[in-house]
A and B are shown apart, each in its own frame.
Chain A
Amino acid sequence: MIRLLLISFFLLQLISCKSYQIDDATVKENSIQEFKNPYFDNPEIDYVYKAQIEVYGNKLGGIFVAKKISDSIHRVVFTTEFGNKLMDFELSDNDFKVNYVLEELDRKMILNTLEEDFRLLLKVNHQVNQSFENSSFNIFKSNSNHKFIYFFVNKNSNSLTKLVSATKHKEKVVFEFESKNTTFAEIIKINHKNIKLKIELNQITN
């Protein structure tokens, strides 16, 4: 019995130590040096979405707004349907400024998680450290602070359809994009793998 437990334990260890790999992907040489995420890059556009958040089984909704307010800074606001602000941030590659946060949401863990998510979502220019491809995607890998970001660009539509933030071994956050014209994502799904947090954004048009 103990032996079985030990074997299962080691097996489990082996499996969980497997490094993060993309299905059927092969390394591609001489690829691009920089990848540009096009979805929040236009300073002329107010990016407005209906948001649905599911956190540890609790669901809440609201309006998510993002706008590029300078070359390096995005403003991000989250309000309720009634319009009152829950959060208001400004963020760039290195800075994160909280303009406002509702007292009940002013928790370090919440703010750190959102800062990380929004930076992944909004950051435009990424250095490419390695490129891969499989039958469906061109994949660009960017190294960032002990983490790795993978951009999956669909070979047919040429649009960014998935962004994965991973450690050496496993996925941490997966972003999925649905885009009709390759520069604007109508639907964005953010799915955390290590905490029970899902965010879905659907574009609002009047």
Chain B
Amino acid sequence: MKIKFFTILFSFTVSIGFAQEQKMSNSEILNFKNEVTKETKNIKSLKTDFVQYKHMDFLSKDIETSGKMVFKAPNLLNWQYTKPYQYSIVFKNNKIYINDQGNKSTVDAKSKMFEKINKLIVGSVSGNMFDDNEFTITYFKTKDYNIAKLFPKTATIKKYIKEVNLFFPENESTVSQVKLIEPSGDYTKIVFKNKQVNAKIDDSAFTN
């Protein structure tokens, strides 16, 4: 009796699991991609707050940090942590400027590397990552989200990242949540809040 109960309960849970996340049909994928690509082409600037959760299985609690991100097309980016410490990283003129609680340093970004990081961060927030040759992408939908799951193709990236999940709220073309999953299964989840697209942003926002 007990076993039967658990079997039913288990299959019920599993079917809920499946019902929650459905693969998109080919036409749905096409629609979704068109929408996102169209929207992101119009993005001149992006401003958002974020909360980052670092999950490691052996810890009892995720490590939570938060801050704000500012982007201005084509390639100005300021990613800033304000809690629980001050740390910011600015991408500007092919250089990376780091301010680690007052300790400042500059790194010359090798142009290709710089481009990749920039593209990954901006693409993660805006959602414009579909034409990338670096990833194989699969598409899912739930009641609340469209989800793009990116699997790296190159061995170099595979070493660091097993999978990137981008969550687009239903009827929105920008990302509200990113999950970067490591080969070990541990992951970093970033949730965006108070997003403003094409707000006026002064260049001084990119000085740290």
A interface residues (Cβ-Cβ under 8 A, vs B): 44, 46, 48, 50, 52, 59, 61, 63, 65, 67, 69, 75, 77, 79, 81-85, 88, 99-100, 103, 202, 204-206
Contacts and interface: CB of A to CB of B under 8 A. Distances in A.
Contacts of B115: none
Given A63-B54, A204-B84, A206-B64, A83 B180 contact: yes
Contact of A82 (B56, B101, B159, B188): B188
A123 B159 CA distance: 31
Contacts, number: 61
B60 A46 contact: yes
Nearest to A43: B60
A103 B63 contact: no
Interface in B81-103: 81, 83-85, 87, 89, 98, 100-101, 103
Interface residues of B, number: 28
B182 interface: yes
B184 interface: yes
Given A50-B84, A83-B188, 18 more contacts: A46-B59, A46-B60, A46-B63, A52-B101, A52-B103, A59-B103, A61-B87, A63-B54, A63-B63, A65-B59, A67-B58, A79-B54, A81-B87, A83-B180, A85-B186, A88-B184, A205-B84, A206-B84
Contacts of A61: 87, 98, 100, 103
A84 B182 contact: yes
User: Top 7 nearest A-B pairs by Cβ distance?
Assistant: A83-B188, A83-B54, A61-B100, A46-B59, A206-B64, A204-B84, A50-B85
A58 B184 CA distance: 29
Q: Is the interface of A mostly helix, strand, loop or mixed?
A: strand
Contact of A52 (B59, B84, B100, B188): B100
A85 B182 contact: yes
A46 B184 CA distance: 19
Interface string B162-174: 0000000000000
Contacts of A81: 65, 81, 87, 89
A204 B83 CA distance: 9
